[in-house]
Amino acid sequence: MKEYIFPKKIKEINLATGTNNLLKKQPMQIGLCERETATISKDGYIVLDYGKEMNGGIRILTYLGQRVRVRIRFGESLSECYSQIGDEKNATNDHALRDFCVELQNYSDMTFGNTGFRFVRIDFFDDAQIKSVVAINHIFRGKILYKYNGNDRIIKNIYTCAKRTIDLCAGQDYLWDGVKRDRLVWVGDSHPEMLALTTLYGKSLVLERSLDFVKDQTPLPNWMNNMPMYSMWWIIILADYYEKTGCYDYLTKQIDYLEELVKLMSEHVSENGELKYSFLFVDWPTSSQPDEEGGVRAINIIAMKKAIDILSLFNKDTSYAKEALNRLLKKPIKVQKSKQVAGLKYFATGLDNEDKDLLVKNGASGMSTFMSYYILKAIASFDKEKAIEIMKEYYGKMLEKGATTFWEDFNIEWANGSSRIDKLPKKGQKDIHGDFGAYCYRGFRHSLCHGWSAGVLQFIKEECE
């Protein structure tokens, strides 16, 4: 659904008066005699805070101003809306424009932008009188099947923040990974997103539509999203989605593709269990690291087990899947340092004592937003209270830093001596948004509303009531 949100705070003004009028909920119609407006002089600016992450743009109602040139900068953090494209902190317009110049007109009602943001800075190159700057937010609304009703304040806030994360990412036609970046359907990333959606709402048409979109774009022998592991995740999603919703009719439509996909995957496991895929990927932190192969093997094992379950349900040939599974199990998974891979191993083959020690070592250090469900469930299998403690430490620290949606990635160490996302860094402070991140999400390119981080909702339902 689409909702209209007036700004909650004015964070900064320059050469502007009457800006508190922008906080008032006025009729969203421009008139010939507007008395409650903000006046911004040439070279002035305003910085608005909408209180929470949004998915969309802004609607500017201009009272007076002929061909007023303005620059609009959206930011998921306050510091991002002060940033310059291409600066040393990697501010970008990737996937969705968040920094651009437009013109305003007398007596106009115009909409600009379609991105992820909480803050907006508008610089004026000419004088203008503005009635309103209203956020247009696209957010999913459905009948809620699960709500956390416990008394733990931190868990309640984690639930609320994770729910908003997935609601924004599912707020338009397809299930996006991030509302600023990436506005794409990534199948592997959709597994924790599926966990979140089914926990909250049960069956999900936006999920089904997204899975079909990628399948239709991926005729075999191609891999979904050009990644063999994401085709494996597609199988895992199908099986888990059916288990949670009983969506037999939807599953029926996938069987022919699944049969051929299993045959293709079986060709990429050698007789002695070696993986022959041209590309291996678990997540960015394990990319090209020693545990990467073990993580891919775990995903492959889980996928083959799930494929056997689905094919058996329809009385289809399971021989390719069973033979590939037997070959995969010839090589044990030895985890060296990755908690993500240890979590996946739990679902694939189970844990040994060394894995358990690794999973709880240094608490939330080494956690992952993408893999949080798998890590936390693995820990809960032998120490439920410790798993809940780590969840609260990890997600709670993002909340302490001002998160209203959960992030693409987060290392607990980033929190030491860094700013909140709703404040500009003070002298000597690190910028929690612009100074961290890695791989493809360095600096301000880092997404602060990423659907995969909402998989923790399923863990809360299963372990925290």
Give the pLDDT score at 12.
Answer: 98
Q: Which of 82, 104, 138 is the last residue of a domain?
A: 138
Residues 175 and 286 in one domain: yes
CATH number at residue 43: 2.60.120.260
Element holding 409 (H helix, E strand): none
Please tell me whether residues 313 and 168 are part of one structural domain: yes
Same domain, 312 and 343: yes
Confidence label for 431 from pLDDT (cuts 50, 70 and 90): very high
Q: Taking a C-beta distance cutoff of 8 angstroms, is the pair 46, 12 a contact?
A: yes
What angle is formed at CA 404 by the lines to CA 399 and CA 406, rounded to 5 degrees? 75
Shared-domain flag, residues 200 and 160 = yes
Tell me if residue 313 falls in helix, strand or coil. Answer: helix
pLDDT at 86: 85
Residue at 434 is within a domain: no
Based on the fold, state whether residues 244 and 387 are members of the same structural domain. Answer: yes
Span 74-96, average pLDDT: 94
- Tell me the per-residue pLDDT of 256-294, one tens digit each, with 9 for 90 and over: 999 999 999 999 999 999 999 999 999 999 999 999 999
- Asked if residue 442 belongs to a domain, the reply is no
Residues 402 and 11: their CA atoms lie apart, in Å, by 15
Residue 436 domain flag: no
Distance between terminal CA atoms of the chain? Answer: 30
Residues 119 and 188 in one domain: no
Residue located via tokens 């500009």: 424
* Tens digits of residue pLDDT in 136-167: 999 999 999 999 999 999 999 999 999 999 99
Span 349-366, mean pLDDT?
97
In angstroms, what CA-CA distances link 240 with 50, 146, 190, 314, 445?
36, 17, 12, 16, 32
377: domain CATH number is 1.50.10.10
Q: Is the domain of 87 the same as that of 165?
A: no
Are 257 and 322 in the same domain? yes
pLDDT at position 88, please?
A: 84
Give a yes or no: residue 325 inside a domain.
Answer: yes
Can you read off the two tokens belonging to residue 124? Answer: 């004026």
Same-domain check for residues 78 and 201: no
Last residue within a domain, chosen from 138, 171, 205: 138
User: Total domain count for the chain?
Assistant: 2
- Of 92, 109, 138, the one marking the end of a domain is 138
Q: Quote the domain boundaries for residue 273.
A: 153-408+447-463
Q: Enter the pTM of the model.
A: 0.97
Give 118's contacts (C-beta < 8 A, 6+ positions apart). 49, 50, 51, 52, 53, 54, 75, 76, 77, 404, 421, 422
Q: Are residues 132 and 206 in the same domain?
A: no
Residue among 464, 449, 455, 387 at smallest CA distance from 200: 455
Task: Write the CB contacts of 416 (distance below 8 Å, at least 6 apart in sequence).
Answer: none
Residue 173 to residues 27, 176, 224, 241, 382, Cα–Cα distance (Å): 28, 9, 19, 19, 40
58 and 171 inside one domain: no
Asked whether residue 131 falls in the same domain as residue 160, the answer is no
Query: Contact, 53 vs 118, CB < 8 A?
Result: yes
pLDDT in tens, 11-20: 999 999 999 9
Is residue 309 situated within a structural domain? yes
Q: Which two tokens stand for residue 159?
A: 């639930």
What's the pLDDT band for 182 if we cut at 50, 70, 90? confident
- Count the Cβ atoms, other than its own, within 10 Å of residue 107: 14
In this structure, is residue 146 part of a structural domain? Answer: no
Burial of 216 (0-12, 13-18, 19+ CB in 10 A): exposed
d(CA 430, CA 226): 36
Token pair, residue 375, equals: 């890590």
What kind and span of H or E run contains 223?
A: none
- Proportion of the chain above pLDDT 90, given as a percent: 98
Reported as a pLDDT band with limits 50, 70 and 90, residue 87 is: confident
pLDDT at position 465? 85
Q: Does 453 score more than 90 pLDDT?
A: yes
On whether residue 191 sits in a domain, the answer given is yes
Determine, yes or no, domain membership for 415.
no
Distances (CA, A) of 392 to 148, 295, 386: 14, 25, 10
Q: How far apart are CA 362 and CA 267, in angstroms?
A: 40
> Cα separation of 444 and 116, whole Å?
12
Stretch 211-233: mean pLDDT: 98
CB 438 within 8 A of CB 428: no
Residues 6+ apart with CB under 8 A from 372: 192, 391, 394, 395, 453, 455, 456, 459
Mean pLDDT of the chain: 97
Mean pLDDT of 370-390: 98
